[in-house]
Structure formats: C-alpha cells, structure tokens
A and B are shown apart, each in its own frame.
Chain A
Amino acid sequence: EVRLEESGGGLVQPGTSLRLSCAALGFHFDDYAMHWVRQAPGKGLEWVASISRNSVSVGYADSVKGRFTISRDDAKGSLYLQMNSLSTDDTALYYCAKDSNSWVSHMDVWGKGTTVTVSS
C-alpha cells in the first residue's frame, strides 16, 4: 500500500523557518516525482512545489519562490520542504503527494497533511 506520512508542522512566529518532511512507504520513492500542496483553513488547494525524479526539475508557486525549497533524499525515501521567512499567509495544512510519473506531472496519492500555523 502506498503511504505518505508528513511531519514537522507546528506553531511558529512570523519570520522564522520550518522544515517539513514526508516519509514515503510502499513504493519505489526514487522512481517518482513528488509534490507539496497546501490548503489554508476553509480555502481551496494551492500547489506549492514539485520535484522530479533525480531532482532534475523543480518548480515553485510564485507565492513561495525564493523562500521555500523542495528537496528529496532517495536513500531515505523522504521528501522535504524547507520554509523560510514564514508569514501568516503560509498558515495551512501542507500535503505531500506522489506523482504518477518520474517527470513532474500531477498528484495521484496524497498524505494526510501536517499543519503549519504562523502567528505571533
């Protein structure tokens, strides 16, 4: 069974940093592209970032470009999102999602998410 388990969320102050992790289980992690998607309370889905197999291609939403970094450790079967200069607008449930393909395409399986709250 394919499973994605996010961790690292929490309550942080504006201007600080946080690193999210996603553990991939039940599939060959290094064969697939991966994504982060977030959902602010009561709002719709917002794509955050994507990374291809072998990290050849990465992409970011304009709202996080320059502040967030997506990365992967294939040896550990893990996906990461380093989030710097956090603002209250970054408060959301952050989902890790697996792609259908090795290149960046779209999400087929999602984790349950980890909550990030940015507040003073």
Chain B
Amino acid sequence: DIQMTQSPSSLSASVGDRVTITCRASQGIRNDLAWYQQKPGKAPTRLIYSSSSLQSGVPSRFSGSGSGTEFTLTISSLQPEDFATYYCLQHNSYPFIFGPGTKVEIK
C-alpha cells in the first residue's frame, strides 16, 4: 500500500503570510493527488486536483505543485477564511489514502 506523509501537522501563521504544506507518497503516484480544505463542523471541499489544477471558484492564492512522490500546497497570502485543516489524497491506486492533515491556525 502507498503511504502518505504530510507536514507540518500544524502551523501557526498570520494573515498575509505565505504558507506551504507538503505531502509525500511512499511510491510514485504520477499526479494523482488532490487537496481538500475542511473547516470545523463542515464537510471537506476540493481545492486542487491532478496535483496542480485549481478547483473552479477557489481563490488564486491557492496553488498546488508536484509529481511522483512530493507535492506541495501553497497559500500565497493567508486570509482569515483560510484557517482550517488541509488534507491531501492519493488516488493513484487502492487503497486510497488521505494524508494525516495540516491544521492551520491563527498566530
């Protein structure tokens, strides 16, 4: 099975900061990776698919990159509504695996 690690597990940042979250796969998954945002008490929403494609309606401050085993989600200028938990998902092969999550908190 493919294992997914995600770092950091949490971070504290200020409005306007640039934030980078990394997911690593234990073996190559091409670009079969998506990123999701989840706010407390809400269902996840898709931010990025195919590693770097931005979901329609998602602000352009969000971007994704990577291929193979290393992927990043970048928020170029953190906004108050971005404080949430972020998950990556590998869907290259069964079993699909979500990363453990990164909680982004207000500094």
Q: Restricting to B62-107, which residues have a CB under 8 Å from any CB of A?
A: 85, 87, 89, 91, 94-101
Closest chain B residue to A59 by CB distance? Answer: B94
Q: Is B46 part of the contact surface with A, judged by Cβ < 8 Å?
A: yes
Majority secondary structure, A binding face? strand
Residues of B within 8 A of A104 (CB): 91
Closest chain B residue to A61 by CB distance? Answer: B95
A85-120, CB under 8 A of B: which get 1 and which 0?
A: 000000000010000100011111111110000000
Q: Is A47 part of the contact surface with B, judged by Cβ < 8 Å?
A: yes
Residues of A within 8 A of B97 (CB): 47
> Is A105 in contact with B43, judged by CB distance below 8 angstroms?
no
> Is B96 in contact with A112, judged by CB distance below 8 angstroms?
no
Q: Is A25 part of the contact surface with B, judged by Cβ < 8 Å?
A: no
Residues of A within 8 A of B55 (CB): 108
> Is B95 in contact with A45, judged by CB distance below 8 angstroms?
no
Partner of A59, one of B32, B43, B96, B98: B96
Identify the A interface with B (CB < 8 A). Answer: 37, 44-47, 50, 59-62, 95, 100, 104-113
Q: List 19 A-B contacts (CB under 8 A).
A: A44-B87, A44-B101, A45-B89, A45-B98, A45-B101, A46-B98, A59-B95, A61-B95, A62-B1, A95-B43, A100-B49, A104-B91, A105-B32, A106-B89, A106-B91, A107-B34, A108-B46, A108-B55, A110-B45
